A and B are shown apart, each in its own frame.
Chain A
Amino acid sequence: MYLLLDTKNLIDTLNIAWQGMLTIFIGMAVIYIIIFILTHPIKRKKEE
C-alpha cells in the first residue's frame, strides 16, 4: 500500500460518490411514492 497520486482514481471515486448518493436518494424517493400510494387509500377511508 502506498499513497496513490492517481487523478483518474480520484475522479472515479468522486463520480461513484455523487452518483451513488444521488441514486440511493432517487431509489428511496420512488419507494416513498410507492408507500404513499399503498397507504393513501387507508387515509381516504378514515376521512370518509
Chain B
Amino acid sequence: MNFIEFLLNSFKAITWQQIVMMAVGILLIYLAIKKEMEPSLLLPMGFGAILVNLPFSGVLNQTLGNNIEAVGAIEWLFEIGIEASEIFPLLLFIGIGAMIDFGPLLSNPKLIFFGAAAQFGIFITIVVAGFFFELKDAASIGIIGAADGPTSILVAQILNSNYLPAIMVAAYSYMALVPSIQPFAIKLVTTKAERKIRMPYNPKNVTQLAKIIFPIAVTIVAGLIAPASLALVGFLMFGNLLKECGVLRSLSETASGTLVNLITLLLGITISFKMTAEAFVTWETLVVMGLGLFAFVFDTIGGVLFAKFLNLFSKNKINPMVGAAGISAFPMSARVVQKMGLEADPENHLLMHAVSANVAGQIASVLAGGIILSIVPYLL
C-alpha cells in the first residue's frame, strides 16, 4: 500500500449509511445538550454512534494486516457488560432502587393497580408488532412501552432481538419525550371536567419496618409469580433495601450516586456498539420507532381508561390523569400529571397521587419484562 492509498483508505471505505449514522449521532448529542433530553444517555450514545461508524474503527474488533486481531474497547464492553450477563442494566437497577421512595405508595396502596393498567401499551404493541415481526422481535419491541431503558435492553438482549439498537434508542428517546407524548394521549381520552377532578391527599404514617419488609416481600412474590423477573425486581428491591434498612447509608449513597453515574456513563457508550450502519439504517428501524411511540401512547391511554372504569363504581372519584402516571418514567410522568392538573384547575394538586402511581409503574414495568421473559421463550 503506497502512502497516498494509506491516507485515503478510510475515506474510500466510508459508506452513505455510516454518514447517516454519524449524523444520527450528532443529532443525539444536539438533543442531549440543546434540548436536555436524557443527556446522560443520549450524549454517550450519540458519541458512540460516531465512534463505531468510522471505517475500520478501533473501538470495534478488527483484523489488521497479517491476520493480527485487535480487540475494540466498545465491543469488549458490550460483550462483558451486556451480552455475557446483562450486568450493566442490572447494576443500574440497584442504583434506581436506592433512589426510589415507596413511602407514598405504601401510604396509598390502591394506586398500585394503575401501575398494572399502564402496561397495556406493552401488550397491545406486541400484538400489532406480531403482524410485521417474528415473535421474539415483537415481544422486544413491545417492551419499549415499559418506559424503562434497562428493562428494554435486558429483554431485547435475552430474546436475541435483531432490533436491539432501534429498541434502545426508541426507549430512551421516548422517555425523554414523555412531557410531550403524555399530554397529547391524556387529552385524547379525557374531558376538561375529568381533568379537574380533585383528590384529597391524606397520607398515612408508614413505619420503617414496613419499608424494610416491603422490598423483601415484593422480591419473593415476583420470584414466585414470574421467576424470570427476579434479576430485575431483585436488584431493584436490593437497592431499595439498602436505602431503607437505615444501617448502610454509605452503600446506599454510593449505589444511588456513584454506581448510577458510572454505569450510566458506560451503558450509553456501550450500547452504541449496536448502532452500526448495517444494523441501524433500515426501514425496520423506522417501524420499530413508530411502534415504540404507539406503545407509549397506549400505556397512557390504558392507565387513564382504567381510572375511568374504576370511577364507574367508586364514590370517591379518581382523576383519570393519575392513571397515566402508572408508567415507569419517574418522575417525569408524575410531573406531567401535576402540571396538567394545575392547568385544568390552579388549585388541583395531584402530585403525590401521581408519584404513588409512578412508583407502582416502576415495579409493574420490571414485572412485565420478567413476565415476557417467562412466556416468550416457551413459544419460540
- Write the residues of chain A forming the contact surface with B, with a CB cutoff of 8 angstroms: 1-4, 9-10, 12-21, 23-32, 34-36, 38-39, 42-43
CB of A26, distance to nearest CB on chain B (Å): 7
**Which listed residue, A17, A35, A43, touches B105 by the CB 8 Å rule?**
A35
CB of A3, distance to nearest CB on chain B (Å): 6
Which residues of B in the span 200-253 have a Cβ within 8 Å of any Cβ on A? 204-207, 209-210, 213-214, 217-218, 221-222, 225-226
Contacts of A18 in B (CB 8 A): 123
How long is the Cα–Cα vector from A31 to B236 in the complex, in angstroms? 15
Question: Given A35-B109, A39-B109, A27–B367 Cβ distance below 8 Å?
Answer: yes
Q: B127 touching A14 by the CB < 8 A rule?
A: yes
How long is the Cα–Cα vector from A28 to B372 in the complex, in angstroms? 16
Q: A28 touching B106 by the CB < 8 A rule?
A: no
Q: B214 touching A20 by the CB < 8 A rule?
A: no
- Which of A10, A15, A20 has most chain B Cβ within 10 Å? A20
How long is the Cα–Cα vector from A24 to B129 in the complex, in angstroms? 21
CB of B219, distance to nearest CB on chain A (Å): 11
Contacts of B363 in A (CB 8 A): 28, 31
CB of A40, distance to nearest CB on chain B (Å): 10
Contacts of B119 in A (CB 8 A): 20-21, 24
Q: B206 touching A24 by the CB < 8 A rule?
A: no
Q: B375 touching A16 by the CB < 8 A rule?
A: yes
Majority secondary structure of chain B interface residues (helix, strand, loop or mixed): helix
Q: How many residues of B contact A (CB 8 A)?
A: 52
Q: B110 touching A32 by the CB < 8 A rule?
A: yes
Question: Given A34-B221, A38-B106, A24–B284 Cβ distance below 8 Å?
Answer: no
Q: A19 touching B375 by the CB < 8 A rule?
A: yes
User: Can you name 11 A-B residue pairings with CB atoms under 8 Å?
Assistant: A1-B284, A3-B132, A4-B130, A9-B134, A17-B123, A20-B126, A20-B371, A24-B371, A27-B222, A34-B214, A34-B221
CB of A45, distance to nearest CB on chain B (Å): 9
How long is the Cα–Cα vector from A38 to B372 in the complex, in angstroms? 29
**Sorted from nearest, which 3 A-B pairs have the closest CB atoms?**
A13-B130, A17-B123, A35-B109
Q: A23 touching B127 by the CB < 8 A rule?
A: no
Contacts of A35 in B (CB 8 A): 105-106, 109, 112, 210, 214
